[in-house]
Amino acid sequence: MCCFGFLKIMMFIFNGGIFLAGAAILGVGIWVKVDSGSLLGLLENLDNAPSGLSQLVNISYLLMAVGGVLLVIGFLGCCGAVKESRCMLMTFFSIMLIIFLIEVAGAVVLLVFQGLADQLLQSLEDEVRKSIVKNYGYSESVTSLWNATMDKFQCCGYRNYTDFDGSPFFTEHGRNVYPPMCCNATITMSTCNTNEAHSSMVDGCFDKLLQLIEDNAVIIAAVALGIAALEIAAMVVSMVLYSQIGRKN
């Protein structure tokens, strides 16, 4: 019984933290969505405000989705342990198992089916390049998102500066001008023309992202293993409680 009580307390504390985190994330997402007009107006009036602020509204949907899932998981775990509800514990276990299996499946696809992963990346590359050619310089949201990304990671396009050939921005500026981030000497140059962009050969944002992942591979692997261990521990504890409650009843 002492062990059973300890497991209940640990289950409550662990899932209580998840519930509070989910509630906070969900609240922030809702606040950003509801008050996006005044929030963006305030931020855009700040000096040196980044150009990607318009994407803040889209991030709110992701925050609400993640917060909602964490809220449900935390609620089921806490109430299942406190109320000794086998139904809630089984539901909690099922959700955690589904999330864990999705993570494992994703890892298997990346590690085993390397050819499929390459095809998916190629398909993604084609769609991203089409979006640049169609919308960069025409759609304010797409343009600001790319500008913010290129400025943040000091990169140019998906692969290189040629991704902007044929885009509204390229056409509008006389077919010889690229975004300033595509040239190294952005401070002293008034425009980034074809010759300067070719001589600079700034890395593409995809290559920068891969480099960032490689540089932090150990940290990413440690975090992934830690999350997997917590998920397994939560599932084991929920099933132990489920079994103990069944014996008591």
Does one domain contain both 8 and 75? yes
Comparing 179 with 123, the larger pLDDT belongs to 179
In this structure, what is the dihedral angle of CA atoms 62, 30, 88, 6, given to the nearest 10 degrees?
90
CA distances from 27 to 22, 30, 38 (A): 8, 5, 17
pLDDT band at 180 (very low <50, low <70, confident <90, very high): confident
Find the domain containing 184 and state its range. 134-204
Alpha helices in 35-85 (DSSP H): 36-44, 56-82
pLDDT digits over 190-200, tens only? 678 888 888 88
Does one domain contain both 61 and 111? yes
Tokens of 63: 């925050």
Residue 17 lies in a domain: yes
The pLDDT of residue 156: 92
Does one domain contain both 141 and 26? no
> Distance (Å, rounded) from C-alpha 231 to C-alpha 180?
45
pTM equals 0.60
Does one domain contain both 37 and 103? yes
Tokens of 173: 């500026």
Does one domain contain both 199 and 226? no
pLDDT band at 57 (very low <50, low <70, confident <90, very high): low
CB 156 within 8 A of CB 207: no
The Cβ of residue 184 has, within 10 Å, a number of other Cβ atoms equal to 17
Domain count, the chain: 2
Residue 55 lies in a domain: yes
CA distances from 11 to 3, 20, 225 (A): 12, 14, 20
pLDDT band at 217 (very low <50, low <70, confident <90, very high): confident
CB 58 within 8 A of CB 93: no
pLDDT digits over 124-172, tens only? 788 888 889 998 988 888 888 898 889 888 899 888 898 998 888 888 8
Does one domain contain both 58 and 178? no
Q: Return the DSSP state at 192.
A: E
pLDDT digits over 68-112, tens only? 888 999 899 888 888 888 898 899 999 989 988 888 887 777 677
Does one domain contain both 89 and 138? no
The pLDDT of residue 46: 43
| Paired sense of beta strands 177-178 and 192-193, if any | antiparallel
Does one domain contain both 166 and 54? no
